[in-house]
């Protein structure tokens, strides 16, 4: 295996130029899933690869702010044709974001700018399709049916973006877009939800909760499909699975946690602890810390929102326990996973799971 010192020696001997060496190193890191500095069994994760990526992201952000200001000034002078103007501006903006993506993602293989450009493209698609198809008067009357079409088209646009650039973060955006569109579809059929219980509690009759749970499980299944195709986490498929797990966990736990807490009994806390135990078991088996972390973070957010410390002090002990559990599990993750894989009858599923370390 060629090491970094070998590449440096090749540059010194004139076999490779510094540019070629940098490109080769970047490609090698990308193919390994950025695992070079990770300990065995750790989960690869990248938001950016260097300060230059942060520099470019800040530049893109400032460029976007100026672009929006110029567009706003342009449209303000054409109030009588603003609808048509915004439509063509959306098309031009999407093309501009696509060109930036061709350079920074396909050619430079940058991680941070890829995430930012994905968000920009999704926002432009949602704005453009919404401006084209949404009915303002219907929305003003709290009838959101006209947003379903733009939502689905926006999801399709981001999916095309992913097919071209294979940005792992784009799949998370697709999942969230489908989630939002499904809620809008259910709202048009069952009426607008009156509170959170209508959306996320399984005992309610609105059907929202079953939709959110089904989408969460579907997202988890897609994440597992990527993980199973790359159990050693050495390709970009591992990153696709990472972002999908990060989205799937809150979708699933949100519905289950609110359904459990809606009983408002002392057993609700014990039931919630049992649910989190199941999530922890699944996360350890599939070796995805992101799945468990997203679930616990979301549960803590739900608890602190619904039960402030002054009104539900007992939940403070639950949050404390979850924190201690998370720290202990992180410290001994590899050992615990090795023991579990050794005693659980997983059979043929083992070949799709990362090996124990």
Q: What is the pTM of this model?
A: 0.80
**Both structure tokens of 327:** 């720290």
pLDDT tens readout for residues 303-356: 777 665 545 556 677 788 888 988 999 888 989 999 999 898 888 888 889 887
C-beta of residue 237 within 8 angstroms of C-beta of residue 30: no
The angle at the Cα of 65, spanning 59 to 71, to the nearest 5 degrees, equals 130
Angle at 304 between CA 299 and CA 306, to 5 degrees: 95
Give pairs for 329-337: CB < 8 Å, separation 24+: 329/280, 329/284, 329/292, 330/289, 333/41, 333/284, 333/289, 334/40, 334/41, 336/284, 337/41, 337/284, 337/285, 337/287
* Beta carbons within 8 Å of 145's beta carbon, 6+ residues apart: 138, 184, 188
Do 186 and 154 meet the contact criterion of CB atoms below 8 Å apart? no
Give me the pLDDT at residue 309, please. 52
What does the domain layout of the chain look like in residue ranges? 46-192, 223-357
Distance CA 65, CA 278 (A): 45
Q: From residue 113, how far is each of 53, 164, 174, 175, 291 by CA, in Å?
A: 6, 16, 18, 20, 24
- The pLDDT score that the predictor gives to residue 244 is 94
**Would you give the DSSP letter of residue 145?**
G
Low-confidence ranges of the chain (pLDDT < 50): 33-34, 310
For residue 151, how many other CB atoms are within 10 A of its CB?
Answer: 23
The predicted pLDDT at position 302 comes to 75
């Amino acid at each position: 295996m060629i090491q970094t010192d070998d590449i440096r020696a090749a540059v010194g001997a004139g076999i490779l130029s510094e540019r070629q060496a940098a490109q080769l190193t970047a490609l090698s890191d990308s193919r390994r899933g950025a695992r070079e500095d990770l300990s065995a069994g750790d989960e690869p994760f990248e938001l950016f690869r260097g300060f230059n990526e942060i520099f470019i992201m800040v530049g893109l952000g400032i460029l976007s702010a100026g672009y929006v200001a110029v567009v706003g000034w342009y449209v303000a002078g054409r109030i009588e044709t603003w609808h048509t103007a915004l439509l063509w501006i959306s098309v031009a903006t999407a093309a501009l974001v696509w060109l930036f993506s061709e350079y920074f993602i396909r050619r430079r293989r940058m991680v941070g700018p890829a995430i930012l450009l994905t968000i920009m493209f999704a926002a432009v698609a949602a704005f453009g399709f919404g401006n084209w198809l949404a009915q303002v008067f219907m929305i003003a009357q709290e009838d959101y049916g006209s947003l379903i079409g733009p939502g689905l088209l926006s999801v399709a646009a981001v999916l095309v973006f992913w097919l071209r650039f294979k940005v792992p973060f784009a799949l998370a955006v697709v999942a969230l877009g489908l989630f939002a569109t499904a809620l809008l579809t259910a709202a048009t059929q069952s009426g607008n939800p009156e509170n959170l219980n209508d959306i996320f509690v399984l005992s309610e009759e609105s059907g929202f909760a079953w939709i959110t749970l089904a989408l969460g499980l579907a997202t988890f299944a897609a994440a597992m499909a990527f993980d199973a195709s790359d159990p050693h986490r050495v390709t970009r498929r591992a990153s696709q699975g990472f972002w999908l797990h990060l989205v799937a966990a809150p979708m699933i736990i949100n519905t289950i946690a609110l359904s459990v807490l809606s009983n408002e009994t002392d057993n609700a806390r014990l039931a919630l602890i049992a649910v989190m135990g199941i999530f922890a078991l699944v996360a350890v088996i599939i070796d995805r810390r992101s799945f468990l972390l997203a679930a616990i973070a979301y549960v803590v957010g739900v608890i602190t929102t619904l039960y402030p410390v002054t009104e539900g002090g007992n939940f403070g002990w639950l949050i404390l326990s979850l924190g201690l559990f998370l720290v202990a599990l992180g410290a001994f993750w590899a050992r615990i996973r090795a023991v579990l894989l050794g005693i659980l009858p997983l059979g043929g599923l083992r070949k799709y799971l990362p090996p124990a370390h």
